[in-house]
A = this chain, B = another copy of it.
Amino acid sequence: MFPKNAWYIACTPDELADGPLGRSLCGQRVALYRGAGGQVAALEDFCPHRGAALSLGRVVGDNLMCGYHGLVMGCDGKTVSMPMQRVGGFPCIRSYPVVERHGFVWLWPGDAALADEAAIPALPWSDNPEWAFGGGLYHIGCDYRLMVDNLMDLTHEAYVHVGSIGQDEIDASPVRTRMEGETVVTSRIMQNVTAPPFWQDAMRANGLDPDAPVDRWQISRFTAPSHVLIDVGVALAGKGGFEAAPEYKASAVVVDFMTPETETSHWYFWGMARHFKPEDAALTATIREGQGRIFSQDLDVLEAQQRNLRTFPDRRLLALNIDAGGVQARRIIDRLVQAEKTMTTAADAAEAQLA
């Protein structure tokens, strides 16, 4: 249950450093590689000769050579050559629109004619020296929408992430969910609280007294198909919260891109972009490690939840106010999937009329 006409993250550039990468994305087997010219390409991971996995081959110029019998496949899915063979009649394989941008490789698994690079989300921190970014990748055995729910309702921090970013006041502060155009926004503000350990560390790193009372904010933004960016941070109490001047706060963006693998598993690209001490690489590493540990706690919870939903497929879940963000996000996803179905039907009808 995912839209196909959308940009998803396929991998990070470092995953292509040592050669091609085979990965299942949105139910499709994809071979990704970087050509000699630096361009990233994505092909169906299927050699038209005998069905070998092209991702086990190697890059030759801007093409991908099958590692079994040397068929050279172009980045457009047309066979370029094969030793001692005429390849003109070889069947094409699928190639995917793919764009490297903001430190990620974005893939469009649907109708290539509709792929529009302008639809790739802007990540304002990505080319900005005032920001630093660190992140990682987890493979998680659950529907990506369970992760969207998770991220659009940070109440769980009080329970899943005790001792790092969780604190009791989370529960005591109401959440608000609203639409900003096609973006679902869920926000929670905690006023005049003590920062939890993760943020105390950040305050210390940023030259603030970690024991000072703070205003803390969490503003999750979902955009289709499956991206969640979360403004998080603390400012000295009464200095304006999210709007406070830089010297009074420590703030960051939690970055979450989920790419479906199957209906019940996904690739989770997570990270944090921070707006303080960007030059401090050791701090980036420390935060990255801490975040990796925190997010792996979600993994256990979500995979157990997925098992339960498989065991009890007919049971209705509750949709409380704290779930509103996830509910709204699913509505957008449902609408997009429905629209793609209608589009396919219309295209089929048009074709039938032509025939």
Contact of A155 among B53, B83, B155, B321 (CB under 8 A): B83
Contact of A304 among B53, B149, B321 (CB under 8 A): B53
Known contacts A50-B323, A317-B49: A69-B308 contact under CB 8 Å: no
CA distance A308 to B82 in the complex (A): 21
A69 adjacent to B322 (CB under 8 Å): yes
Residues of chain B within 8 A of A82, CB atoms compared: 320
Q: Which of A209-238 contact B (CB under 8 A)?
A: none
Q: Is A84 an interface residue (CB 8 A)?
A: yes
Known contacts A51-B309, A51-B312, A315-B51: A56-B156 contact under CB 8 Å: no
CA distance A305 to B312 in the complex (A): 31
**0 or 1 for each of A35-71: is its CB under 8 Å from B? (1 = yes):** 0000000000110111111001100000001111110
Residues of chain B within 8 A of A65, CB atoms compared: 159
- CB of A312 to closest CB in B, whole Å: 6
Closest to A65 in B: B159
**0 or 1 for each of A286-322: is its CB under 8 Å from B? (1 = yes):** 0000000000000011001101110110011110111
Chain A interface residue count, CB cutoff 8 Å, equals 51
CA distance A57 to B305 in the complex (A): 12
- CB of A79 to closest CB in B, whole Å: 10
Contact of A46 among B69, B160, B308, B323 (CB under 8 A): B308
B159 adjacent to A66 (CB under 8 Å): yes
Q: Is A174 an interface residue (CB 8 A)?
A: yes
10 tightest Cβ-Cβ pairs between the two chains A and B: A83-B171, A53-B304, A51-B308, A52-B305, A69-B155, A49-B318, A67-B159, A51-B309, A50-B317, A70-B159
Q: Is A261 an interface residue (CB 8 A)?
A: no
A84 adjacent to B171 (CB under 8 Å): yes
Q: Is A153 an interface residue (CB 8 A)?
A: yes
Q: Is A158 an interface residue (CB 8 A)?
A: yes
B301 adjacent to A52 (CB under 8 Å): yes
CA distance A82 to B68 in the complex (A): 55
- Can you name 25 A-B residue pairings with CB atoms under 8 Å? A22-B304, A29-B311, A45-B308, A48-B318, A51-B305, A51-B309, A51-B312, A51-B315, A52-B305, A52-B308, A53-B301, A53-B304, A53-B308, A65-B159, A67-B159, A68-B156, A69-B322, A70-B155, A70-B158, A70-B159, A84-B172, A85-B321, A85-B322, A90-B318, A91-B316
CA distance A321 to B87 in the complex (A): 12
**0 or 1 for each of A146-190: is its CB under 8 Å from B? (1 = yes):** 000100010110111000000000011010000000000000000
Residues of chain B within 8 A of A52, CB atoms compared: 301, 304-305, 308
B85 adjacent to A312 (CB under 8 Å): no
CA distance A329 to B300 in the complex (A): 41
A70 adjacent to B317 (CB under 8 Å): no
Residues of chain B within 8 A of A49, CB atoms compared: 317-318, 320
Interface centre among A69, A160, A315, A321 (most CB of B within 10 A): A69
- CB of A177 to closest CB in B, whole Å: 14
- CB of A174 to closest CB in B, whole Å: 6
